[in-house]
Amino acid sequence: MYLTKEEELILAGEYGYALQKAMEILVALGEIYRADRLIPIKSAQIAGVSYKNIGDAGIEFLRDFVDAGAKVSVYTTLNPAGIGNEEFMEKQREVLELYKAMGIEVTSTCTPYYGANMPKFGDHLAWSESSAVSFANSIIGARTNREGGPSSLAAAIVGKTPNYGLHLEENRKATVIVEVQAKVKDFVDYSFLGYHLGKLLKNDVPYFKGLKPEKTDYLKELGASMAATGSIALYHVEGETPEYKTAITDKLEKIQVDDKELKEIKEKYNAGWDEIDAILIGCPHASIHEIKEVAELLKMRGKPLRVPLFITASRVVRYLADSLGYTEVIERYNGKIVVDACLIVSPIKSWYKGIATNSGKASFYFSSAGLKVRLDNTDRLIFEAP
């Protein structure tokens, strides 16, 4: 991989330990994945925030990095944190303080594109939250690989990323055509579809035919679910996403998805309400549209929920919900908007046995953690819950 004179100096340690280590990571990844050079990035988004995930090992590394003077050189935001007991929260605060000390905006969300970190078409990024990577690539048309926590941090510090994978035009072409014959209409249908295809396709670039999503939220959920059960980081939807016109090449394999396949997932996540301790909406973090919908559904329901409802969202969206009056409605019916946090990176199993959600991504992670799951559409969750 070609390095500029300045990059060589950084690698040689002329600018200190932290920049040197960050550069070593980028150069090694560039060599492994055969990048020709490093390219500047517009922003970084860093996973590895929850104490449940990064543990004492992560804290130790971050502390050493901060002590060595590590500072980010591009605009950088964080993934959501975990929620736990007092001891957990103390460690969690320490993690956030360390990231803050590096100059990172502590906007802890998996949907930075709803506010603090909104890329534009063609921007090169180093993002690591898998659903945000999918959103940025597919819906916005920005370019990012699916970074790991440490590699996105290295990119944030240097302000560059190796030029390989989804940064290159040729790797953004579709690798399989998906003809959707199943009835895919509501939010949860996109969860089912994404869940199914992530398992089936692993890391393909699917091109969807026959999808007419009413809302961008639906595509967000499709991408999040595919990125959770598989490692799909980019997809195209005919007539919808910005790069679909240039995505098709000759002789692509075609697959069909019909109702039967999606029904299997519905039946798999069909825990009874007697097994459910909480409802989660907002995986990935909810948009203001999703919050408005929940508030309206609760009003139609007319009586408070006995099972508590948690809506996870970014602060930007929460403040908007506050000022538009939705938060007040949601709280009146035993709901709560939780900011900066993610239930799937929290030690949730010590509190709950079963969760009801509209998210295919959340269903996958909750069931992997041993919880019972009910996966259904937002309106049915709100109307049918005890």
Partner 1 sequence: MKLKGRRITRGKAKGVALVSRRPLSFLGGIDPKTGIVTDVESDIKGESVKDKILVFPRGKGSTVGSYVIYQLKKNNVAPKAIVVEDAETIVATGAIIAEIPMVDKIDIKKIKNGQIIEVDADKGEVIIHEGEGI
Please tell me whether residue 54 binds partner 1 under the rule CB under 8 A: yes
Give me the least distance between CB of 150 and partner 1, in Å please. Answer: 5
Please tell me whether residue 296 binds partner 1 under the rule CB under 8 A: no
Q: Which tokens hold the place of 343?
A: 């239930």
Please tell me whether residue 48 binds partner 1 under the rule CB under 8 A: yes
Closest CA to 348 of 318, 357, 60: 357
Give me the least distance between CB of 13 and partner 1, in Å please. Answer: 13
Please tell me whether residue 308 binds partner 1 under the rule CB under 8 A: no
Please tell me whether residue 58 binds partner 1 under the rule CB under 8 A: yes
**CB contact burial 327-359 (16+ within 10 A = b; e otherwise):** bebbeebbbebbbbbbbbbbbbeeebebbbbbb
Tell how many helices (H) and how many strands (E) occur in the chain: 14, 15
Give me the least distance between CB of 108 and partner 1, in Å please. Answer: 16
Instruction: Return the H-helix or E-strand segment holding 141.
Output: none
> Which region, judged by CB under 8 A, interacts with partner 1, from 144-152, 170-178, 190-198, 310-318?
144-152
Nearer to partner 1, 9 or 28 (CB): 28
Nearer to partner 1, 6 or 31 (CB): 31
Sole binder of partner 1 in the list 103, 115, 149, 308 (CB under 8 A): 149
**CB contact burial 265-294 (16+ within 10 A = b; e otherwise):** bbeebebeeeebebbbbbbbbbbbebbbbb
Query: What radius of gyration do the chain's Cα atoms show?
Result: 21
Please tell me whether residue 346 binds partner 1 under the rule CB under 8 A: no
Nearer to partner 1, 56 or 86 (CB): 56
Please tell me whether residue 53 binds partner 1 under the rule CB under 8 A: yes
Sole binder of partner 1 in the list 73, 94, 105, 148 (CB under 8 A): 148
CA–CA dist 352, 341 (Å, integer): 17
**Cβ-contact 196, 203 below 8 angstroms:** no
Please tell me whether residue 32 binds partner 1 under the rule CB under 8 A: yes
Please tell me whether residue 230 binds partner 1 under the rule CB under 8 A: no
Please tell me whether residue 194 binds partner 1 under the rule CB under 8 A: no
User: What residues pair up with 177 in beta bridges, in sequence order?
Assistant: 207, 254
Half-sphere exposure (Cβ direction) of 2: Cα atoms closer than 13 Å? 5
Does residue 273 sit in helix, strand or coil?
helix
Please tell me whether residue 28 binds partner 1 under the rule CB under 8 A: yes
Sole binder of partner 1 in the list 128, 225, 229, 378 (CB under 8 A): 128
* Residues forming the site for partner 1 (CB under 8 A): 21, 24-25, 28-29, 31-32, 47-48, 53-58, 60-61, 128, 147-151, 154
